[in-house]
Amino acid sequence: MSLTLFYFLGIAAIYILMSWAIYIPYRMGQLHFMTVANMAISAYFAAVATLSWGWPFWLVLIAGTLLGALIGWIASFAIGDAPCFAVVIVGFTLIYLTKTIIENTEALGGPLGIFSIPKIIEGTSAANRHVILIIVYLLVLLVGYLIYRMDHSRLGRAASSIFIDRELATTFGVNVKKMGMFLQTFGSAIGGMSGVMYLFIMRAISPNHFTFHLIGVCMTMLFVGGYTTQWGVLIAAPLLWGIPLILPESVQSWKIVIYGVLLISVLVVKPEGFITRPFLSKISHRIQKILFKKVEDKI
Amino acid sequence: MKKISLVLVLLLSFSLCLWAGGEKEAGAATGGVVVDAWEIPFLNVLTGPIASIGEYLQWGAERAAQEINAAGGIAGKPVKVLRIDTGMSPEQGTVEMSKLVNSALVVMGPVPEPVIMAAVPIAADEGLYSFTATTSFEYAEPYFPWAVSWFAPTDERLPAIVTAWSDRVGAKKVVQFVENYGPWPGMARAHAIGLKDAGAQVLSDVEVPQDAITFGPLVVKALEQKPDAIIFACNAEKTAKIIMELKNRGWTDMAKLLVFSSADDAALYTTGGDKINGVMIYNYSDPDLNTPRWNAFRQAFKDDHNGIEPFSLSPNYYDAVYMIKRAIEETGVTGDRKKLAAERILIRDYVNEIQNFEGLQYNWSNAGGYPKDKPLFLFRIEGGKKVLEAKIIPD
């Protein structure tokens, strides 16, 4: 596998995970940008644990994910049932605080960051890349499965009811705070996991990696892909991340214009994004129809 | 259904394009130069918040290529600088760098630091030499010998210029305004070394937040320490605003204000106007140098940029292209893809130890991947221009 393909696929997986980390709390209408701070904290934690304490990759991955979950859970006591705007402000604040603390901490490399993260396996760089790619896509499958199970359970339906009308959801017996705490903790855990994987893909880290720009990118992927289901980001992340990479040199300067026009066009034609629930049920009906017709023909 | 098919086809096409891009194989050739043209990729930032700086750097590199081609090219073959935009994104930088590791002889860039941090490790891992010509030594050094630094270690090069300034103006108690961005805190620490060498007392730094809008409280915090001189290690606009605030609060001895090199850009002069007259500033190039080569460069830059003077980093990638030319010609590199790894090492070793390189502004020599004898210049600002006060070559 070429190095280019590795980075394309690896970073696409990170974008998928991060967009899902934002998607999960948004199921009940909260834009939980704290996930970017979780990503940064867990990535730095992983760097220190690997370089200074000599922890193995698996331990770092599990600990980084749990650290993300722990921070998300603690914060959720305060903002579990907070309105969207308050959750956004808390997210921005935590990103800013995290960045400032990292930049001012010598042990974390300050503004320079941390270099020379080791490979996760002994052997060639190519073998290391293969293993990382397999792990990150297994994680995408795992997280995707968990989100699918959640979306199709009582939890998912409760989250949808909160998204539509909080008051009404409460009358149905939905505990808005507990639901918010659960979704925020889940999102933060994925943010932490993404941070650890991002570190081992890039093998260097600096506070400049975790900016508001990352929120913008993940939001775009979520909203263009479709924010009402988990499937949209699976298409939007590789597409939106890949388009700027394949534009020829002659149109490099127009890249942002092309990108912008593309986004506006998609949002005008499909305001809820590419993949919506009606779209999914339409496909599902068609598949059923085709299958049903085949069975009927056989009979 | 058609839309899903379309999306799947697009995804497949991207993957195939990227796969194919990474697996190109070299053509067979032996002896002498085998390429029709030398292609030098430049990982630059051509879109986004610092695109204007990227454009100035690109302009310098392309001007060097034009001059070289007009004079017969590199070893008789024309040179082309490839424009590669990373959009200041570390992720995009890694992918763009990964596209080059199997084919490029050398790479210029990346720019700026976040992209260097992400992309240069890939090049170093794969044995591709990077010309990181705009960043400080500390960002390039972890990747030696696969990266070259355009500057000596911060602690080696900056103290001398600060000592010279301090001696000149008679600074006794100095406070620094420091913004916590990239190499700037490290530069502030080097300033402090220079002050101590001059026998001046170094007071507590005043941290300038990156999102600072008002500067009154910061100035009060600095003046409370009763300094008789001040050094600025924050961005150009903030530096200008702090100086204006100082003047409003009665500061008169402008020569006792020293601005560091990274704040030497247009925003300092447009924001500060006449209020920064008399302020001292240090940098790595002398805009009023009077040599035919520099004059031609300067005039061409002004012609292409509505009369704007070249900024201090403008010569860096101009010089980088000439350095690559000299390395190729002196080492007998052929461009043969079969010899790619060996020829990369030839260029690397030559550049890391290059002697008496004729740069646009001055000659210098490298040892161990960084320059040992580059000068720094101390200027006084008058009417939006810099007037040379001293030229210092650090020991």
pLDDT tens profile B301-310: 999 998 888 8
How far apart (Å, rounded) are the C-alpha atoms in residues A275 and A263?
A: 15
* Contact (CB<8Å) A286/B1: yes
Q: How far is CA A174 from the centre of its chain?
A: 26
For residues B102 and B110, what is the distance between their CA atoms, to the nearest angstrom?
17
Nearest to A4 among B98, B113, B185 (CB): B98
pLDDT at position B331 is: 96
Least confident of A68-77, B89-98, B368-377: B89-98
Mean pLDDT by 10 residues, chain A (299 residues): 90 96 96 96 97 95 98 96 94 93 88 85 89 97 97 94 93 94 97 97 86 87 91 92 77 72 82 87 87 80
CA nearest A197: which of A70, A25, A47? A47
The residue segments making up the domain with residue A127 are 3-210
CB contact under 8 A, A2 and B94: no
User: pLDDT of B341-371, one tens digit each?
Assistant: 999 999 999 999 999 999 999 999 999 999 9
Q: A262 and chain B: CB distance < 8 Å anywhere?
A: no
Residue B123: band (very low, low, confident or very high) from pLDDT cuts 50, 70, 90: very high
SS3 assignment, position A34: helix
Q: Do B22 and A205 touch (CB under 8 A)?
A: no
* Averaged pLDDT for residues B222-234: 97
Judged on CB neighbours under 10 Å (0-12, 13-18, 19+), B216 is: exposed
Residue A22 forms part of a structural domain: yes
Chain B contacts of A278, Cβ < 8 Å? none
A123, burial (CB in 10 Å: exposed 0-12, middle 13-18, buried 19+): exposed
Q: Which residues 190-229 of B have a C-beta within 8 angstroms of A?
A: none
Give me the pLDDT at residue B17, please.
41
* Predicted confidence (pLDDT) at residue B114 exceeds the cutoff of 80: yes
Question: Is residue A14 assigned to a domain?
Answer: yes
Shortest alpha-carbon distance between residue A158 and chain B (Å): 30
Query: Would you call A286 an interface residue with chain B, using a CB distance cutoff of 8 Å?
Result: yes
HEC per residue, chain B: CHHHHHHHHHHHHHHHHHHHHHCCCCCCCCCCCCCCCEEEEEEECCCCCCHHHHHHHHHHHHHHHHHHHHCCCECCECEEEEEEECCCCHHHHHHHHHHHCCCCCEEECCCCHHHHHHHHHHHHHCCCEEEECCCCHHHHHHHCCCEEECCCCHHHHHHHHHHHHHHHHCCCEEEEEEECCCCHHHHHHHHHHHHHHCCCEECCCEEECCCCCCCHHHHHHHHCCCCCEEEEECCHHHHHHHHHHHHHCCCCCHHHEEECHHHCCHHHHHHHHHHHCCCEEEECCCCCCCCHHHHHHHHHHHHHCCCCCCCCCHHHHHHHHHHHHHHHHHHCCCCCHHHHHHHHHHHHHHHHCCCCEECCCCEECEECCEECCCCEEEEEEECCEEEEEEEECCC
In chain B, residues 83-142 whose CB comes closer than 8 Å to chain A:
83-85, 87, 89-92, 94-96, 98-99, 101-102, 113-114, 117-118, 121-122, 125-126, 138-139, 142
Q: How many CB pairs under 8 A join A and B?
A: 127
Among the partner residues A111, A209, A244, nearest to B182 by beta-carbon distance: A111
CA distance B95 to chain A (A): 5
As a whole number of angstroms, the distance between CA A237 and CA A254 comes to 21
Each residue's pLDDT tens digit, B189-217: 999 999 999 999 999 999 998 888 899 99
Residue among B14, B22, B84 minimizing CB distance to A238: B14
Whether B90 and A125 lie within 8 Å, measured CB to CB: no
ipTM above 0.85, yes or no: no
Residue of B5, B7, B14, B137 for testing the chain A interface, max A β-carbons within 10 Å: B14
Looking at beta carbons, which residues of chain B come within 8 Å of A255?
Answer: 47, 85, 87
A235 in a domain, yes or no? Answer: no
Residue B187's nearest CA partner among B154, B147, B220 is B154
* pLDDT given for residue B21 in this prediction: 40
Q: Which residue has the tokens 């043209």?
A: B37
Burial class (CB in 10 A: 0-12, 13-18, 19+), A39: buried
Residue A84 lies in a domain: yes
- Domain total in chain A: 1
pLDDT at B24: 37
pLDDT at B55 over 70: yes
Nearest to A209 among B47, B114, B142 (CB): B114
> Quick one: pLDDT band at residue B20, thresholds 50, 70, 90?
very low
| Contact in structure between B98 and A4 (CB atoms under 8 Å) | yes
Is residue A114 helix, strand or coil? strand
In a domain, A158, yes or no: yes
| Chain B residues with CB-CB distance to A197 below 8 A | none
Taking each helix axis from N to C end, the angle separating B216-223 and B236-248, rounded to the nearest 10 degrees, works out to: 70
User: Is pLDDT at B27 greater than 50 in this prediction?
Assistant: no
* Cβ atoms A190, A36 nearer than 8 A: no
CB contact under 8 A, B98 and A286: no
Burial tier of A66 (Cβ tally within 10 Å: 0-12, 13-18, 19+): middle
Mean predicted confidence (pLDDT) in B158-186: 94
> What's the pLDDT at A233?
94
* Predicted pLDDT at A252: 65
pLDDT at B117 over 50: yes
> By the CB < 8 Å criterion, does B181 face chain A?
yes
Position B92 pLDDT exceeds 50: yes
Mean pLDDT of chain B: 90
Residue-wise pLDDT tens digits, B264-275: 988 899 999 999
Out of B95, B138, B182, name the one closest to residue A245 (CB): B95
Q: Where residue B4 falls among pLDDT bands split at 50, 70, 90? A: low
Comparing A76-90, A245-259, B50-64, B378-392, the range with the smallest average pLDDT is A245-259
pLDDT computed for residue B28 by the predictor: 36
Q: What is the pLDDT of residue B25?
A: 37
Predicted confidence at residue B18, as pLDDT, reads: 42
Q: Which residues of A touch B95 (CB under 8 A)?
A: 4, 7-8, 11, 245
Examine the pLDDT at B6 and tell me if it is beyond 60.
no
Say how far apart CA B27 and CA A82 lie, in whole Å.
63
Cα distance between residue A125 and residue A134, in whole Å: 14
Residue in chain B lying closest to A237 (CA): B11
